[in-house]
A and B are shown apart, each in its own frame.
Chain A
Amino acid sequence: MAGGEDRVKINWSEYDPGQIWDELLGAPGKPRPHARQLTKYLSSLSSSQLSRRQEAAERAILEMGITFTVYSEGQNIDRAWPFDIIPRIMSATEWRGIQAGLKQRLTALNMFIDDVYNEQRIIRDGRFPRELLETSGNFLKECIGAKPVHGVWAHICGSDLVRDSDGTVYVLEDNLRVPSGVSYMLENRIVTKQVFPELFAHSRILPVDDYPSLLFDTLASLSPRPLDYPEVVVLTPGIYNSAYFEHAYLAQAMGAELVEGGDLLVADDDCVYMRTIGGLERVDVIYRRINDTYMDPEAFRPDSTLGVPGLMRAWRAGNVAIANAPGSGVADDKLVYAYVPDIIRYYLDQEPLLPNVPTYSCVDPEQRRYVLEHLAELVVKPVNESGGYGMLIGPTGSREDLEKFARLVKREPRNYVAQPVLSLSTAPTLVRGRLEPRHIDLRPFSLQGDRSAVTAGGLTRVALVKGSLVVNSSQGGGSKDTWVIETGED
């Protein structure tokens, strides 16, 4: 074929990230050292070859049935997972620093959770305000005095990382309740290997596919019975949950049962059993993917049909482990977030390795005044939401939005925090056969049980709309494979 399209090659000197930090290029035509091999390879492909690979990836995603569920117009729609074939790359040297920072952070957060439900030393020592704890919707009094094994409450953490225009990587959020996305990280790698097999043969890309076995080991280490093969189950709200694909994926990859609330029961001996074809079988560890307050209608919402009556009783009696433990969410309240650097210093006597984004607490009168005066420059977030819902991005907000949030902040200051707008780094993304910069973030997954581990990279989410900073898949975001590469150069 000698079509004009076919001869168009990628010209990296036309790719201009502007003032924003780009993950692959330092400037037009200047790839970063860890990205050189990829950019060189991509410029050997024509625009139509690239488009064909994108189509192949989309076909693979459809055939592999990689979906996420969107609830829209009263119907659940299973959508194919939006994916961009151009990988996002980080150097192994930088990654090792981030990994250490994430481990440090999760260790300290777990010490914090264990402390606030037990001795409350941090409060007595005046390093964390008692009112903050008592007004947190995620602080569950049902958990006071509980002692999970290893002193660990949050066993699985999905942190959101972003990079500002000066190259600094910040932790934007710690998701400690039911973080999702790891199955897409794994599937993205499988698809990318099909699309660019050549690159995997010649680069030292760190593998990610050991995650399910690390997760299983972490969960198994929590078992109350000392067995070689404890019964580990994944508890899902069911097929209508947006992350059901992931629940099934992880259960399958770990060889664990995927259960719904109705499959489990708590018997008179305060142990958890599942209903099987051979009768009742004891359950040791529950990896729960339903929210705290839906877990046990006896302890929390009596109207919940997703949970298991008596589950909290069994957990408090130490007869079953629950990951993440009920009440872990107290540490990912966005107001607590502002204190994480202090929390690290308090429990570990170390300086935080990863910086926090400066956060204004609207409870504090002075900080609130600053927030209200600078609304148009700030991002305002509800403390207790995730998924990018219910927030204000000041610079792009309409006058009505700004007025609405000013009212909200004044009425319920405990419910809002504000942060400066970060620029979010970009990465080249395929748009109609051309590569254009699009904003991205990164969600690595950390595990803590008897040992701890962090994924090599994580899930890179990309805002497919030009200029947009919203990367959530429920709101028009896509994803990319994330490569951590050993280059020996940097």
Chain B
Amino acid sequence: MLSRVAERMYWGARYLERAENIARLVRVYDATLLDLPDDAGVGWPLLVDICGSREAFQARYPVGDSRETLRFLIADADSPSSIMASLAQARENFRTTRDLCPTEAWRSVNELYLYGRKALPRMSSRQRHEVLSGIVQRVQQLTGLLSGTMSHGDAYSFIRLGRNLERADMTTRIIDTAAATLLRSGTAQATLENTLWMAVLKSLSGYQMYRQYVRRRIRDEDVIRFLLNDDLFPRAIAHCLLELESGMARLPNHEGPLRAALRLQRMVDAQQPEAVEETALRTMMDTLQLELARVHAQISDAWFLPERAG
């Protein structure tokens, strides 16, 4: 498989997953805000920080109110971290590798992009939940389509790598959002924690699975442990890493990336949060994000950088 094509498959999958995850992130934040008392003191701009794009945001939106934040994260095609930009990038990557994917997959990516371009810019706050769910649902369909119709060879392995790396990364960011919300609101709100962690689970479609597998009431350390260490839940970081490792193992020249992924796996396994303190949680998530970036660098070195001529 061509290195250039492998890279596009990987990024195509990452951007698709990113579009889905930003939609999830905004949805959970939306729901939490509705449930929280007005003086909880959390604001939309926090989301921009979570996505790591404060500078780009301030350059484009000097006012920085909630409307602008949402525009920046959702419909602004020129913002680096919006749903719309992610859809456009995903489309471009799949468009330029359409010789490798089933035709239906390219069509669905294209339809997804057209849906986003039509629905995202002009949705009212009332329609927001429906449209964002539409995005999540369509990406899920596409993930199923690829898994069910594309041969699970090298090209598919790169899709799996991109998807799971991005997914693990966004789970750290969603946990980070929750921790930051708790920090901002102060510790006075006793009921806030429960509401918030429930919303986090729901945003990752993990509420039911948590109930079935953890069999305990919603407690912050249990939720975090579930999202961090659970091997079975598809959006838990430990599970994403297992997927990454099995995807890598099928590919040639996998020593470097596999070593980086296993290192991170050991690190995650070592984290068994008992009593969670928000600041420490945020630091932990930052560290995981840096490690995920290191795994990405290894993937890129092993498979995307073309060999020298001769």
Q: Which residue of B lies closest to A78 (CB)?
A: B95
Q: Are the C-beta atoms of A277 and B6 separated by less than 8 Å?
A: yes
Interface residues of B (CB under 8 A from A): 1-6, 92, 95-96, 98-100, 103, 106-107, 110-111, 114, 154, 251-253, 302-303, 306-307, 309-310
Cα distance A314–B301 when bound, in Å? 29
Residues of A contacting B303 in the complex (Cβ-Cβ under 8 angstroms): 277
Cα distance A262–B253 when bound, in Å? 21
Q: Are the C-beta atoms of A248 and B111 separated by less than 8 Å?
A: no
Is A257 an interface residue, CB under 8 A from the partner?
yes
Q: Which of B6, B99, B111, B253 contacts A251 (CB 8 A)?
A: B99
Number of A-B contacts (CB under 8 A): 71
> If the complex has contacts A63-B111, A65-B95, A278-B252, are A267 and B310 also in contact, measured as CB distance less than 8 A?
yes
- Some 10 contacts from A to B, beta carbons below 8 A apart, are A63-B107, A248-B96, A252-B99, A257-B5, A258-B99, A275-B3, A275-B4, A276-B2, A277-B253, A278-B1
Cα distance A267–B309 when bound, in Å? 7
Residues of A contacting B106 in the complex (Cβ-Cβ under 8 angstroms): 65
Q: Which residue of A lies closest to B108 (CB)?
A: A63
Q: Are the C-beta atoms of A257 and B307 separated by less than 8 Å?
A: no
Q: Are the C-beta atoms of B96 and A252 separated by less than 8 Å?
A: no
Q: Which 3 A-B pairs have the closest CB atoms?
A: A252-B99, A251-B99, A278-B252
Q: Are the C-beta atoms of A279 and B2 separated by less than 8 Å?
A: no
Cα distance A345–B101 when bound, in Å? 48
Residues of A contacting B253 in the complex (Cβ-Cβ under 8 angstroms): 277-279
Is A62 an interface residue, CB under 8 A from the partner?
yes
Residues of A contacting B107 in the complex (Cβ-Cβ under 8 angstroms): 63-65
> If the complex has contacts A63-B107, A65-B106, A268-B310, are A276 and B96 also in contact, measured as CB distance less than 8 A?
no
Q: Are the C-beta atoms of A277 and B1 separated by less than 8 Å?
A: yes
Interface residues on A, range: 20 to 34
Cα distance A257–B307 when bound, in Å? 18
Is A265 an interface residue, CB under 8 A from the partner?
yes
Q: Are the C-beta atoms of A248 and B98 separated by less than 8 Å?
A: yes
Is A22 an interface residue, CB under 8 A from the partner?
no
SS class of chain A's interface: helix, strand, loop or mixed? mixed
Residues of A contacting B2 in the complex (Cβ-Cβ under 8 angstroms): 257, 259, 263, 274-277
Residues of A contacting B307 in the complex (Cβ-Cβ under 8 angstroms): 275, 279-280
Residues of B contacting A277 in the complex (Cβ-Cβ under 8 angstroms): 1-3, 6, 154, 251-253, 302-303
Q: Which of B2, B103, B106 has the most CB of A within 10 A?
A: B2
Cα distance A251–B5 when bound, in Å? 13
Q: How far is the CB of A186 from chain B (nearest CB, A)?
A: 12
Q: Which residue of B lies closest to A255 (CB)?
A: B99
Cα distance A276–B95 when bound, in Å? 20
Interface residues of A (CB under 8 A from B): 62-65, 234, 239, 248-249, 251-252, 256-260, 262-263, 265, 267-268, 274-280
Residues of B contacting A275 in the complex (Cβ-Cβ under 8 angstroms): 2-4, 306-307
What would 16 more interface pairs be, CB under 8 Å, given A248-B99, A277-B154? A63-B111, A63-B114, A64-B107, A65-B95, A248-B95, A248-B96, A249-B98, A252-B99, A252-B100, A258-B5, A259-B2, A265-B310, A275-B3, A276-B2, A277-B253, A277-B302
Cα distance A257–B154 when bound, in Å? 13
Cα distance A257–B252 when bound, in Å? 18
Residues of A contacting B306 in the complex (Cβ-Cβ under 8 angstroms): 262-263, 275
Q: Which residue of A lies closest to B106 (CB)?
A: A65
Residues of B contacting A268 in the complex (Cβ-Cβ under 8 angstroms): 310
Cα distance A268–B310 when bound, in Å? 6
Cα distance A265–B3 when bound, in Å? 13
Q: How far is the CB of B97 from chain A (nearest CB, A)?
A: 8
Q: Which of B92, B98, B110, B111 contacts A252 (CB 8 A)?
A: B98
Q: Are the C-beta atoms of B96 and A239 separated by less than 8 Å?
A: yes
Residues of B contacting A257 in the complex (Cβ-Cβ under 8 angstroms): 2, 5, 99
Residues of A contacting B6 in the complex (Cβ-Cβ under 8 angstroms): 277
Cα distance A43–B290 when bound, in Å? 68
Cα distance A425–B61 when bound, in Å? 58
Residues of B contacting A62 in the complex (Cβ-Cβ under 8 angstroms): 114
Q: How far is the CB of A64 from chain B (nearest CB, A)?
A: 6
Residues of A contacting B99 in the complex (Cβ-Cβ under 8 angstroms): 234, 248-249, 251-252, 256-258
Residues of A contacting B1 in the complex (Cβ-Cβ under 8 angstroms): 276-278
Q: Which residue of B lies closest to A253 (CB)?
A: B99
Residues of A contacting B310 in the complex (Cβ-Cβ under 8 angstroms): 265, 267-268
Q: Are the C-beta atoms of B114 and A276 separated by less than 8 Å?
A: no
Q: Are the C-beta atoms of A252 and B103 separated by less than 8 Å?
A: yes
Residues of B contacting A248 in the complex (Cβ-Cβ under 8 angstroms): 95-96, 98-99
Q: How far is the CB of B80 from chain A (nearest CB, A)?
A: 20
Cα distance A279–B106 when bound, in Å? 28
Cα distance A164–B225 when bound, in Å? 78
Cα distance A258–B100 when bound, in Å? 9
Cα distance A251–B107 when bound, in Å? 17
Residues of B contacting A63 in the complex (Cβ-Cβ under 8 angstroms): 107, 110-111, 114
Residues of A contacting B302 in the complex (Cβ-Cβ under 8 angstroms): 277
Cα distance A274–B307 when bound, in Å? 10
Cα distance A248–B101 when bound, in Å? 11
Q: Which of A252, A265, A279 contacts B252 (CB 8 A)?
A: A279
Q: How far is the CB of A164 from chain B (nearest CB, A)?
A: 40
Q: How far is the CB of A295 from chain B (nearest CB, A)?
A: 17
Q: How far is the CB of A329 from chain B (nearest CB, A)?
A: 26
Cα distance A267–B5 when bound, in Å? 21
Cα distance A64–B114 when bound, in Å? 12
Cα distance A265–B96 when bound, in Å? 21
Cα distance A258–B95 when bound, in Å? 12
Cα distance A275–B307 when bound, in Å? 7
Q: Are the C-beta atoms of B309 and A276 separated by less than 8 Å?
A: no
Q: How far is the CB of B84 from chain A (nearest CB, A)?
A: 17
Cα distance A239–B8 when bound, in Å? 13
Residues of B contacting A280 in the complex (Cβ-Cβ under 8 angstroms): 307
Q: Which residue of A lies closest to B91 (CB)?
A: A65
Cα distance A262–B7 when bound, in Å? 14
Q: How far is the CB of A291 from chain B (nearest CB, A)?
A: 21
Q: Which of A64, A275, A280 has the most CB of B within 10 A?
A: A275
Q: How far is the CB of A66 from chain B (nearest CB, A)?
A: 10
Q: How far is the CB of B174 from chain A (nearest CB, A)?
A: 31
Residues of B contacting A64 in the complex (Cβ-Cβ under 8 angstroms): 107, 110
Q: Which residue of A lies closest to B155 (CB)?
A: A277
Cα distance A278–B3 when bound, in Å? 9
> If the complex has contacts A65-B106, A65-B110, A277-B252, are A260 and B98 also in contact, measured as CB distance less than 8 A?
no
Cα distance A278–B103 when bound, in Å? 26
Cα distance A204–B103 when bound, in Å? 27
